[in-house]
Amino acid sequence: MAAKIIDGKAIAAEVNEETRRRVEALRAAGRIPGLAVVLVGDDPASQVYVNAKAKKCAELGIHSDKRVLPADATMEQVLELIGELNRDPRIDGILVQSPPPPQIDEEKVIAAIDPAKDVDCFSERNVGKLLIGKEDGFRPCTPWGVMLLLEKSGIDPAGKHAVVIGRSNIVGKPMAALLMQKAKGANATVTVVHSGTPDIARFTRDADILIAAIGKPEFVRGDMIKPGAAVIDVGINRTPNPAGGRDKLVGDVKFDEAVEVAGAVTPVPGGVGPMTIAVLMSNAVTACERRK
Ligand SMILES: Nc1nc(=O)c2c([nH]1)NC[C@@H]1CN(c3ccc(C(=O)N[C@@H](CCC(=O)O)C(=O)O)cc3)C=[N+]21
């Protein structure tokens, strides 16, 4: 039996509709939420994401301020810009597109962002709040997007074995923290596997919920999936199109095989990606609502 394909685009549209209503309410009260998106350098993939975020802001009535610094920008220049955006009253949220060029110390840049404007939930303070389950920080965009996908697809993690492949600060670690939270919509038993795990398949085969976030194209094969499991593919890997033209996007899961074994699976594109942007928009509006 073929798996149910989870429609991330449709679920993101629901979340965005709710965000649009919140923006309307703010605007009626004379407030316009503002998001600054900082891009250092000219990486083509980063440009695509940054433009997608600005476009979604426009659709939802959020003011967006795209700031591009050259690939050889210095730390001083980046920190100067962050300082300016921290002080700018029109800006509620600040995002610095990751990864920056090598001369930029990303950790220092994140630390310079006002935690009240840290809509990525990357700062030490907001990651700390997330870990202790405090609700007044922000939701990490991709992991929270995954939690919403599960909830809105009727998949309750409570009592299930969730296996996260990958331990990045952006996805793997916060994903594990959210899934294990003692809260409605979470409460899973969580295993995290990574590049230091011998025999990853031994764990993934026991997963009721499998989250792939390792950045290796089609790493998860059909024989690594428990029959009926929910498989969430966070990977976005660009591979040159053999026919020329636009790069092909593939996830961290071999979709054609997963669909034969899993109970539910997210596609790439059209799965987690649109949810990441939807949560970012929601966070920007939350930042504005709190500042009232
Ligand atoms: N500070 C920071 N915050 C981020 O949230 C952040 C980041 N840096 N760096 C890069 C990753 C990646 N990311 C994506 C967002 C949307 C899609 C998305 O919408 N993808 C579409 C396809 C888009 C396409 O065609 O390339 C989809 O999956 O359907 C993908 C990837 C946010 N990131």
Is 252 in the active site? no
Q: Is 166 annotated as a binding residue?
A: yes
Catalytic residue among 92, 120, 208, 233: 120
Homologous superfamily in CATH for domain 30-118: Leucine Dehydrogenase, chain A, domain 1 (3.40.50.10860)
Determine the pLDDT at residue 247. Answer: 84
Average pLDDT over every residue of 252-268: 98
Is 53 in the active site? yes
Q: Can you read off the two tokens belonging to residue 292?
A: 């009232």
Determine the pLDDT at residue 246. Answer: 82
- C-alpha–C-alpha distance, residues 186 and 74, integer Å: 42
Q: How many residues does the chain have?
A: 292
Beta pairing, strands 230-233 & 209-212: parallel
50 lines ligand 1 (CB under 6 A): no
95 lines ligand 1 (CB under 6 A): yes
Q: Name all contacts of 86-90 with Cβ < 8 Å and 24+ positions apart.
A: 86/112, 86/113, 86/114, 86/117, 88/34, 88/36, 90/32, 90/34, 90/63, 90/65
pLDDT at 151 over 80: yes
Determine the pLDDT at residue 69. Answer: 98
Query: Does this chain's domain 30-118 share its CATH topology with 141-273?
Result: yes
Spell out the domain ranges in the chain: 30-118, 141-273
Q: pTM higher than 0.95 for the full model?
A: yes
pLDDT at 292 over 80: no
Catalytic residue among 53, 173, 226, 254: 53
Average pLDDT over the chain reads 97
* Cα–ligand 1 centroid distance for 276 (angstroms): 7
Q: Give the SS3 label for residue 275.
A: helix
* Cα–ligand 1 centroid distance for 277 (angstroms): 7
pLDDT at 77 over 80: yes
Between 291 and 156, the more confident residue is 156
* Cα–ligand 1 centroid distance for 273 (angstroms): 5
- In words, the CATH class of domain 141-273 is alpha beta
Question: Cβ atoms within 10 A of the Cβ of 52, count?
Answer: 14
Q: Can you read off the two tokens belonging to residue 71?
A: 């690939």
Q: Can you read off the two tokens belonging to residue 94?
A: 């600040």
* Cα–ligand 1 centroid distance for 95 (angstroms): 12
Buried b (16+ CB within 10 A) or exposed e, 87-106: eeeebbbbbbbbebbeebeb
pLDDT digits (tens, 9 = 90+) for 155-171: 999 999 999 999 999 99
pLDDT digits (tens, 9 = 90+) for 173-229: 999 999 999 999 999 999 999 999 999 999 999 999 999 999 999 999 999 999 999
Q: Is 168 annotated as a binding residue?
A: yes
- C-alpha–C-alpha distance, residues 263 and 223, integer Å: 14
Write the residue with the smallest CA distance to atom 15 of ligand 1: 273
Percent of the chain with pLDDT over 70: 100
